[in-house]
Structures are given as C-alpha cells and as structure tokens.
Amino acid sequence: MHLGRVNSLRRLRHAARIGATSVDGTLLAFGPDRHLPGLPRWLHQIQPTPTVATAPAAPDDPL
C-alpha cells in the first residue's frame, strides 16, 4: 500500500503503523538542504537497523 502527503515524522510513523510499503511527499522538493539531512534519522526511528540478535536467520546454503 502507498501513502501520499507524508511530509513529517508523525505521518511517516502513521504510514509504518498502517503497513504502507511506500510513501511520498513534497518535503524534500521544497527544502532539500534543510530536510534531507534528517531523513535517515526518521527512517531509522521507523525501522532501526537489525542487530545480529534480531536479524532473520539466513537460509541454509544447499551447496
């Protein structure tokens, strides 16, 4: 599912909560120098990088 008008961390959290797999908005179009540096932090807050303990196990290699 896609959700548009995602221009804030609040809307990004909402999108993640309802299961959106993609989002868009105009935030970066109208202020890339101001907003782009914070985007990775937003994404990390929504889906932190998995650690070794929480990462899914790799399938066994049949070879």
Q: Give 12-57 pLDDT, tens digit per residue.
A: 999 999 999 999 999 999 999 999 999 999 999 998 776 665 556 6
Domain membership of residue 24 (yes or no) is: yes
Between 61 and 28, whose confidence is greater? 28
The predicted structure's pLDDT at residue 47:
86
Task: Please name which of 1, 12, 13, 6 lies closest in space to residue 29, comparing C-alpha atoms.
Answer: 6
Domain membership of residue 37 (yes or no) is: yes
Contacts of 8 (CB under 8 A, 6+ apart): 27
Domain membership of residue 8 (yes or no) is: yes
Please state, in angstroms and rounded to a whole number, the distance separating the CA atoms of residues 14 and 30. 22
- Which DSSP letter does residue 13 get? H
- Tell me the residue length of the chain: 63
Total structural domains within the chain: 1
Angle, vertex CA 20, rays to CA 26 and CA 17, nearest 5:
105
Q: Which domain holds residue 20?
A: 2-46
Which residue is listed with tokens 């961390």?
Answer: 9
